[in-house]
Structure 1
Amino acid sequence: MPIIKGHSSRIIASKAEAAASQDASVGSSPRRLSRAGLSGKAKFLGRASATALIASLYLAAVMPSAFAVSVSVHGNKRVDTETIASYFTGTDSASVNKGVKDLYATGMFSDVKISQAGGGLVVSVTENNIINRVVFEGNSKVKTETLQGEVQSKSRGAYSKATVDADVERIKDAYRRAGRAGAKVTSRIVDLPNGRMDVVFTIDEGEKTGVKRIEFVGNTVFTSNKLRDLMQTTEMNFLSFFKTSDVYDPDRIGSDLELIRRFYLKNGYADFRVVGSDAKFDENEGGYVITITVEEGVQYKVQSVTIDSHLPDIDTNSLQKFLRLSPGEIYNGDMVEKTVDALTREISRHGFAFSQVHPRGDRDPASRTVSIVFVLEEGPRVYIERIVIRGNTRTRDYVIRREFDLGEGDAYNRAIVERAERRLNNLGYFKKVKITNEPGSAPDRVIIVVDVEDQSTGSLSLSGGYGTASGLIAEVSVSESNFMGRGQYVRLAVSAGQYSRGVDFSFTEPYFLGNRIAAGFDLYAKKTEVSYYSYYSNFITGGTFRLGLPVTEELTFSPRYSIYNSDLTIPDDWNHPYDDCNRPIWGLTPGFGAGAPSYSYSCLTNGEASLALKQAAGQYLTSMFGYTLSYNSLDNNKNPTSGIFAELRQDVAGAGGYSEFVRTTGDFRIYHELTEDIVGFLRLQGGDLVSLNSKGHPLRIVDNFNLGPSLVRGFQPMGLGPRDVSPGVDWSGNPLGGTKYWGATLEAQFPLWGLPRDLGLRGAVFADAGSLWGYEGRTNFANGGNIIPNNAPPLYTQGNTITVGGAGMTVRSSVGVSLIWSSPMGPIRFDFAKALTKSPFDQTRIFNFTGGTSF
């Protein structure tokens, strides 16, 4: 029973019991801070935490004790006496000093004094005030929400000057990352009644502080321009107001150094290392000068690649197919990592859960070769006790856990854990990801700790652009790649342009039914208007249901089902009824005039839409199954310099609906660095359309391939291939499309010398060749669904048949130059092409432009 000495006196339990109660109240790892070391280290507890602390300590305090110490507490207003007294378990100096440290560590007190009276302790405390609000003044370049996430001072938390001083530095760090290293931050407090106060941070944001120059020392193999191209950090220029990549950010510089290191290892420089990096602010230049010192070493070739297995019953010959390197090749660090991953997965499937794969490179600098040995051995038998996830305030735990190919109770494998860390980083959900190991409850148990920090994954963008084919176009889209923290992708877009407008909605679940299979659907509605290139408008509504099945890291199989309805209409100016044409026009054409017997008709004046196009008019439903098989080993999807992209697509229409066909297309692209600055590009493409026609439904124009500069530059959109050249038809606006095509492109891209590389300007020279041919639609329209009525006059201008021009496999070719700009507003490309060979009915054009923006 406690012995009360005044209103604030009580009995303290034994030292062991008090320590247990303290651990229960403040956590298993309380911070131990001395009064002298308070600055910058205080830890705050909110009201909820303080309430839990009081309750737990009170329960521990009433337990039976072996001996008693009398403690009197003075000065406390909000924190309960029981809570404060429980920190003191004895009168010896060690116990008293520990109690004082632990009280300061709570962050609830600004002063603690100890004295003795009558054989007991007297604890006099001064409580920290409670923060009412945290206010930011003067910030416009960094949002208040961002600053609130940076500071440790929180509303309804205890005030500490040390923490506020540390928050000032945190705010300065946030501004440094935003490119404003000169930002000035001060703090003040505004006292309020009842022990409350406002904490106010006043900010002078200053001018943007960017990177003026990036210099390299020690590089001889690759130029400084090439190494700067690898970095996310760029130098300041006249476009700096558009971008933030020229802002000095130490964290980003660290990532850039890793990109440079991986680049050298990928290109055979196994001895490469970054000696150091230095960033100095130059007052005269008004920005940072970053100097990176490197040691390149020599380039190694692979002498041999072997597998050294210390595992029983493992046939190393069967593992040879998982090796990504071959003798004679340039050493590639990326391929070494991929080989380790592949071998780890394979031997784990053979029952060696604790196996480890260690790559060993035996270098011979004299011959500049390296012998690579992948050592397979049994690792320590360690099991995963728990996977602890911390810091995810928005993302659900299971979204993080599913990136691990192991779980609680499984054998620990370092390679699999590292692969999970790479996957989590690649998701784009987190600012940072760090995976560490902690000892478990037994020597053969390990706890995997995953620390993450969520970041914004939603975007609202306005994009716009102009193309010689599409005209002006603008799009507003809202997307979220981590919808409600579930890792799902959602996008809604609305577009409006000179010749088109539409809306589409997409949803993707990357782990369908808990498997690594992406499932999703798209719903869309799009209206295309009459343009210079086509004499019809088309309103399409439909949807697609799709799956994505990864076969390997580079190969993906994606089946789908699509259903859509098209409503094609032809303006009256190109769609005259036959009786409108039965009106002779005096003197319009030779042979019709005074004394001339022949007739001509008014529909000849403006030109008429093709009968094939008139046949396609109306509403038609298309239902089809398809798939895409794609392979991607590009080093960069936006600006590739090496690698292969290949895609095979096939759709079969006829499972309901009107259309019946099989459409197959293929696209193959390979990129290769010809020199350090010149990237070669080869593209081969082709397609085939076969009519099934089991229901007597011929192919329609809208089913055919309609191509132009996407196949051969130097031609108009829909400017090559079969056309209706019948009398009375404006064949320039009546492309019929084709059923077969092939195309080939050779291109070399290079930087524009003399201009800053980070402007994103590149030039290109190219040669294109290809052909679009084959027409399998109707050519005779007598009795053709009232397109040509049976009672039409015999001299009806358009006749009952169409004449198809350009249907043969004529090779079209062109050469030209391009200007490519990876602008802050989006990719922009100017193509100037000269057609070398063409069909007499093709439509050519020298200049083509595409571009857009997103912000």
Structure 2
Amino acid sequence: MHIADRGLLSRNILRKVGRQSAAASVYAFVAMAGLTAPQQAFAQSYQFSSVKVEGNDRVDAATILSYARIGRGQTISAGELNDAFQRISDVGLFEDVQIIPQGGTLLIKVQELPTVNVINFEGNKRLKDEMLASIVKSQSRRVFSAAQAEADAAEIAKAYQESGRIAASVDPRIIRRSGNRVDLVFDIKEGKVVEVERVSFVGNRAYSDRRLRQVLETKQAGIFRRLVQSDTFVADRIEFDKQMLKDFYAARGYVDFQVQGAVGEVTRERDGFFVTFTVREGQSFKLGRVTTVSEIPEVDAAEFQKALKLRSGITYSPTVIETNITRLENLALRKSLNFVRIEPRITRNDRDLTLDVEFVISKGPRIFVERIDIEGNTTTLDEVIRREFRAAEGDPFNPREVRRAAERIRALGFFKDARVNSEQGSAADQVIVNVDVEEQPTGSLSFGVSYGADSGVGLTAGFRESNFLGRGQTVGASLSTGTDNKSGSINFMEPAFLGRDLSFSFDIGYAETENQNSDYDTRVANIGLGVGFPVGEYSRLQLNYKVVDSRIKNVDDDSSQILHNEASVGGQLTSSVGYGFSYDTRSSGLNPDSGLLLRFNQDFAGLGGDLTYVSTTGLAMAERRIWNDDITLRAVVEGGMINMSKGDSRVTERFFLNSKIRGFEGNGVGPRDLNAVNEDALGGNVFAAARFEAEFPIGLPEEYNIKGGAFFDVGSVWSLDQVTGGPKSGVCPVVDCTVDDSMNLRSSVGVSLFWETPVGPLRFNLSKAVKKEDYDKERNFDLTISSQF
């Protein structure tokens, strides 16, 4: 171990902060030299016939003299001599500077700062050398700077603090080498992780501490504290948490909400933090009267009033107001009304806790967008950012639209930070919009483990790049293998096809599976194309074309004659076009406590290929939080039907109730050939299912991320094109080998345990079949896990 030379650091730092003392030494030298000079010269001025420089190696004498600005024969005062000393010292190239008058000669002695030989890190385990090297600004083969070394040490300590090690200390030291070189060593004492032991709130009445902790980025330390990074204390995260609380309450009508304080206190043992938020909630307001007035004679306010999607009695939310302002502005643009400003005027009614909103249509200033300047995008193309703006150069300037464009740019997920602001252009009616972004990695390589009671343990590997070549395109590939199956896929998506809000997708897939609880295998290969576009504020339409090659193989001799007949057909090609409509308000709906999802899909097969049919599926899901958001209620209803026009349906096209109702094994319900030895499940052409469930806390600390649940499921699958079964021999052991394909309802009830772990979400289901057929196969316990790491 080398011994540090701390003298160099100390002298440099002292030279920076104590130059008055150093300057005084100049005067001392001058006074000593002046003992042999005339008294008048000592008091007033000095003159040197020559100026010598000593001690310099890398910096030539002429350069040093240019800093000193003292010429031969020049008369200078004692103050000017001190100024010369200051100028040479301020260059930052010298460890020590002395100015010594020697009669008619002025001697300038310098000791150059050493150069950095190598930079090393000692004592670091949690943060690797490569990461620390990217933080420090000191560089090898550059002049050593004590101030920069201290600044680098502070940045390293900050990096440790952000990872929860607030007790980390970093001490820069140097090791002298020959040739006026030094090794710069950062001696690191990492310390222990300081976690957030408790997050508490003062002043909250409407929402519990448990609910508010779910809003925050900062989390309490749980049982997986060594794996979870969000439970370490990061001071900068507190400001973000304060904004999250404000947004949470604002979306629920609390217009007076304030975060009056946020304090992080270290425990007495200095091994944890107590974080306390002091809040003032106020009251929740609802919308009162909603009106529209126009200050522009040619604009009909009643027409704009009809465009609003607001009603009295709903909870007030700034997001809802902004959404409706956008709707009115878009209407103005469609009517070719430029420079129209929509201003909400809010009247507060404290008696009934309502807010009357009056949308005022007025003329705004005639200001145009001169240009949009983009900086910081080293990978992402300018056009990817520009297309998030609804205005281009030369269009009327709308400050609200600029703010929304900034939100859309951040929502891309390509940037760590995105700042959008405007400034005065070349004229009073021109504005320059500045976009400054900081890019972040957009690619990921994932490896995962999945488990299902039917499918067993599976391994997955995937690659995904959401900003391919900086064009905003998504490219992905995945491979997975399980106990009885393997699959792979490649997909591509262009979100702005032809420069419009039109997505284009392409995917290829291949899968080989052994169908659950059945003695046959399937092989499916598919190629698909699709385009999607919005048709409403919360709705989207997807058009697609798909080619599928499917085959049933390895049917066991003990299987149903129906399956043998389907396998004998061989591989069949399906060529289909279709559409899918979705309506989703779960993340941005009018009510933050509830959400609605609707999906409807139809595929029309018969454009070539071997099969002609129409396949229709639909799903409706609604969820709502009640009891101050502590309980989530959810209902899902879905169904599907396939109508064959050419050929009979096979198990590769038919529906099963797997994962649609709990309490039964995979392929455990539905039409079944009881006359075959292995009693195969055959699926059906029609299915319907409904699931009702609730999630709620069960009294455990929320940092454990464990919740409880209860559910009730009901459904059925029915209808076959072929109903004559029996063994492969074709000789039926009974008079009638007809398969019962009637609609027989099944239902189950149960309880669940949800556990969000660092290795993936776990769900435990304990269920009991309430209504079933004798031949159905039950499952009372089920565990699922899905993880990426």
- Give the TM-score range, shorter chain: 0.7 to 0.9
Cα pair 2:389 2:402 within 8 Å, conserved:
yes
- 1:383 corresponds in structure 2 to 368
Q: 1:723 aligned to 665, 672, 675, which one?
A: 672
Deviation at 1:475, TM superposition (A): 0.9
- Counterpart contact for 1:643–1:672, Cα < 8 Å: yes
Q: Aligned pair in 2 of structure 1 residues 780, 760: CA closer, same or farther (>3 Å)? A: closer
Q: Secondary structure at the match of 1:724?
A: coil
Residues 1:829 and 2:780 aligned together:
no
Matches within 5 A, 1:488-507: 488-507=473-492
* Alignment check: 8 A CA contact 1:151 1:171 kept: yes
- Separation in 1, partners of 2:554, 2:120: 63
Deviations 1:188-223 (A, max 9, x none): 345667776654333222211111111111111111
Q: Find the partner of 1:292 among 274, 277, 289.
A: 277
Contact 1:780–1:801 (8 Å) recurs in 2: no
2:778 aligns with 844
CA distance in 1, matches of 2:61, 2:603: 74
CA distance in 2, matches of 1:444, 1:132: 57
Preserved contact between residue 729 and residue 798 of structure 1 (Cα < 8 Å): no
Summarize the alignment of residues 753-772 of structure 1 with structure 2, pairs less than 5 Å apart: 753=699, 755-772=700-717
The alpha carbon displacement at 1:286 in A equals 1.8
1:182 to 145, 167, 171: 167
2:686 corresponding residue in structure 1 = 740
1:472 aligns with 2:466: no
Deviation of the 1:328 alpha carbon: 1.5
Alignment-derived partner of residue 776 in structure 1: 721
Letter in 1 for 2:638: Q
Which residue is 1:28 aligned to? none
2 CA distance for matches of 1:204 and 1:225? 36
Q: CA deviation at 1:464?
A: 0.9
User: Deviation per CA, 1:586-618, whole angstroms, max 9, x where unpaired?
Assistant: xxxxxxxxxxxxxxxxxxxxx333333442353
The 3-state SS of whatever aligns with 1:835 is: strand
Does residue 612 of structure 1 match 2:569? no
Q: Distance in 2 between matches of 1:322 and 1:502?
A: 48
- 1:672 corresponds, among 610, 616, 624, to 624
Q: Give the aligned residue type for 1:836.
A: V
Alignment partner of 1:804 out of 739, 743, 747: 739
Using the size of structure 2 for normalisation, the TM-score is 0.83
Cα distance per residue 1:671-726 (max 9 Å; x no partner): 11121211111111111111121xxx222222111223x2222222122222223x
> 1:38 touches 1:162 (CA, 8 Å); kept in 2?
no
Q: 2:240 aligns with which of 241, 255, 260?
A: 255
- Cα 1:112/1:698, change in 2 over 3 Å: farther
Aligned to 2:44: none
1:444-467 CA distance string (max 9 Å, x none): 333322222222222222211211
Kindly indicate whether residue 649 of structure 2 is the aligned counterpart of residue 704 of structure 1. Answer: no
Q: Cα 1:394–1:82, aligned 2, differ >3 Å: closer, same or farther?
A: farther
Cα shift at 1:234: 0.7
Deviation string 1:255-305 (CA, Å, 9 cap, x unpaired) is 222121111111111111111211122133721111111111111121112
**Separation of aligned partners in 2, 1:367 and 1:101:** 72
AA in 1 matched with 2:670: G
CA distance in 2, matches of 1:472, 1:321: 56
Q: Decide whether the 8 Å contact of 1:219 with 1:295 is kept in 2.
A: yes
Asked whether 1:411 is paired with 2:363, we answer no
Letter in 1 for 2:547: I
1:818 pairs with 752, 760, 765, which one? Answer: 752
The one-character-per-residue Cα deviations of 1:659-680 (angstroms, maximum 9, x if unpaired) are: 2211111111111112121111
Give the distance between the partners of 1:100 and 1:273, measured in 2 at CA.
56
In structure 1, distance between residues paired with 2:378 and 2:652:
49
TM-aligned CA distance change 1:73 to 1:337, over 3 Å: farther
2:251 to 251, 266, 269: 266
User: Is the deviation greater in 205-214 or in 393-402?
Assistant: 393-402
User: 2 CA distance for matches of 1:478 and 1:259?
Assistant: 32
Alignment of structure 1 residues 429-508 onto 2, 5 Å: 429-508=414-493
Residues 801, 811 of structure 1: CA spacing in aligned structure 2 closer, same or farther, 3 A cutoff?
closer
Cα pair 2:424 2:430 within 8 Å, conserved: yes
Please tell me the residue identity of whatever aligns with 1:646.
Answer: L
- The answer to whether structure 1 residue 222 and structure 2 residue 207 are counterparts is yes
* C-alpha separation in 2, matches of 1:841 and 1:561: 39
What is the match of residue 604 of structure 1?
A: none
**Comparing 420-429 and 218-227, the one that deviates more:** 420-429
Q: 1:192 to 1:681 in 2, by over 3 A?
A: same
Q: How does 1:11-160 map to 2 (within 5 A)?
A: 77=58, 134-154=119-139, 159-160=144-145
Residue in 2 aligned with 1:275? Answer: 260
Distance 1:293 1:276 in 2: 5
TM-score, normalized by length of structure 1? Answer: 0.77
Q: Paired residues, what number?
A: 729
SS of 2:530 mapped into structure 1:
strand
Contact kept? 1:768, 1:813, Cα under 8 Å: yes
Cα deviation for residue 111 of structure 1 reads 9.0
User: 2:500 matched to 1:548?
Assistant: no
Over 3 Å counting, the alpha-carbon distance change for 1:96 and 1:610 in structure 2 is farther
C-alpha contact (below 8 Å) 1:38/1:104 kept by paired residues: no
The 8 Å contact of residues 195 and 273 in structure 2, kept in 1 or not, is answered as: yes
- C-alpha offsets along residues 620-660 of structure 1, whole Å, 9 cap, x if unaligned? 222222222112211399xx962111111111222222222
User: Match for residue 320 of structure 1?
Assistant: 305
* Alpha-carbon distance between aligned partners in 1 of 2:92 and 2:760, rounded to the nearest angstrom: 50
Answer yes or no: is the 8 Å Cα contact 1:404–1:420 preserved in 2: yes
Distance of 2:554 and 2:493 partners within structure 1: 37
SS of 2:239's equivalent in the other structure is: helix
Name the CA distance, whole Å, in 1 between partners of 2:374 and 2:784. Answer: 46
Q: CA deviation at 1:321?
A: 4.6
Q: CA deviation at 1:537?
A: 0.9
Distance 1:719 1:426 in 2: 43
Unpaired segments of 5 or more residues in structure 2?
A: 1-14, 20-50, 102-106
Q: Distance in 2 between matches of 1:395 and 1:311?
A: 42
Alpha carbons of structure 1 residues 443 and 462: separation in structure 2 relative to 1, 3 Å: same
Counterpart-to-counterpart distance in 2, 1:476 and 1:97: 69
The 1:166/1:464 distance shift into structure 2, 3 A limit, reads: same
Partner deviation per Cα, 1:165-207 (whole Å, 9 max, x = no partner): 2222222222111111111112234566777665433322221
Query: Which residue does 1:582 correspond to in 2?
Result: none
User: Residue type matched to 1:402 in 2?
Assistant: R
Contact 1:324 1:338 in 2 (8 A): no
Aligned with 1:357: secondary structure? strand
Tell me the CA shift for residue 164 of structure 1: 2.6
Alignment partner of 1:336 out of 321, 333, 353: 321
The whole-number CA distance in structure 1 between the counterparts of 2:654 and 2:392 is 51
Q: What CA distance in whole angstroms lies between the structure 2 residues aligned with 1:101 and 1:406?
A: 55
1:739 CA displacement = 1.2
Aligned-partner Cα distance in 1 for 2:440–2:142: 24
Call closer, same or farther: CA 1:811–1:164 in 2, change over 3 Å.
same
- Pick from 590, 612, 635: which aligns with 1:682? 635
Q: How does 1:157-168 map to 2 (within 5 A)?
A: 159-168=144-153
Residues 515 and 530 of structure 1: CA distance in aligned 2, closer, same or farther (over 3 Å): closer
Instruction: Report if the CA contact (8 A) 2:723-2:739 is conserved.
Output: no
Structure 1: tracts of 5 or more residues without a match: 1-34, 40-71, 117-121, 576-606, 782-786
Distance 2:298 2:66 in 1: 66
Identity %: 35
Contact 2:725–2:738, Cα closer than 8 Å, also in 1: no
For the 8 Å contact 2:551–2:567, the answer to whether it is kept is no
Cα separation, 2, equivalents of 1:656 and 1:127: 84
Q: State the shift of 1:812 in Å.
A: 1.7
